[in-house]
Amino acid sequence: MAENRTPVLQVSELSVSYGHISAVQDATIELFEGELVTLIGANGAGKSTFLETIMGIHRPTRGRISFMGEEITHMPTDGIVALGISLCPEGRGILPSMSVLENLQLGAFHNRRYLGESLVKVFGLFPILEKRKQQAAGTLSGGEQQMLSVGRALMADPKVLMLDEPSLGLASIVVDEVFRIIGELSDHGHTILLSEQNAKKALRYARRGYVFQTGRVVLEGSAEDLMRDNEVIRFYLGG
């Protein structure tokens, strides 16, 4: 174990299959309160399936998922969100015909009591969203859509925020801004599980990391150790 305390999120020997195709195989991770932990690996390594299974979108063929000491392996997605896990999905998943504000309000479905408070927090992080709040989400730039996706996930006031490939398809200057915000969220105590192909950026902000290859966790360690690992350098850091 990484620490002598109880993980907020613990996934043990998780396996997920699509028919005869094994997408995740015996993957085990731990996430502690206040950590930013990253999952790195190539496209198709199983990272997205792993996060979606935690959210109840896929059913595992074996393994166990625990959140704050409670098993959630077979819990439906809405129940998992209500407990305090939010996923910002790959591809953003916004509703393009709805306004920015309406998208954010949907994110607060399980947190309606604190809707106004959550909006203030999200607009504080993303001032551009407040300026665009009546604009159709589909008319935002790619970077603004990614900010909206993160903001919508935050509207639930999650105990764990999972981000799936937040830099995908964005210009480098926008990627820098997205990671600056992720770093700011981490600095303010948010517990974050980040799946990211941009290993160099992810490890720069993370505390620990897990390397996925063909559905398996093949390496884990502190971000500093992974950035010095020859295999990680060769395959993921451009060394």
The burial class, CB within 10 Å (0-12 / 13-18 / 19+), for 97 is: exposed
Mean pLDDT of 113-142: 93
Q: Is residue 10 scored above 90 in pLDDT?
A: yes
Residue 2 has pLDDT above 50, yes or no: no
In terms of C-beta distances under 8 Å and separation of at least 24 residues, what long-range contacts does 227-235 make, across chains too? 227/203, 232/40, 232/199, 235/42
Q: What is the pLDDT of residue 91?
A: 79
pLDDT at 121 over 80: yes
Domains and CATH numbers, the chain: 1-75+195-239 (3.40.50.300)
CA distance 90 to 14: 21
The single-letter DSSP state of residue 136 is B
Q: What's the pLDDT at 1?
A: 41
Determine what percent of the chain is predicted with pLDDT higher than 90: 79
State residue 4's pLDDT score: 55
**pLDDT in the model for residue 19:** 86
Given this model, what pLDDT does residue 165 score?
Answer: 92
Which pLDDT tens digit goes with each residue over 129-177?
999 999 999 999 999 999 999 999 999 999 999 999 999 888 899 899 8
Whole-angstrom Cα Rg for the chain:
17
Residue 137 DSSP symbol? G
pLDDT surpassing 50 at residue 73 = yes
The strands making up 21-31's β-sheet, listed across from edge to edge, are 21-31, 9-18, 62-67, 70-71
Q: Which helix (H) or strand (E) holds 71?
A: strand 70-71
Q: Are 7 and 64 in contact (CB under 8 A)?
A: no
Convert the pLDDT of each residue in 182-213 to its tens digit: 999 999 999 999 999 899 999 999 999 999 99
Question: pLDDT by residue (tens digit) across 35-68?
Answer: 999 999 988 899 999 999 999 999 999 999 999 9
Q: So what's the pLDDT on residue 95?
A: 94
Q: Which two tokens stand for residue 30?
A: 């731990």
pLDDT for position 186: 95
Task: Give pLDDT, residue 239.
Answer: 53
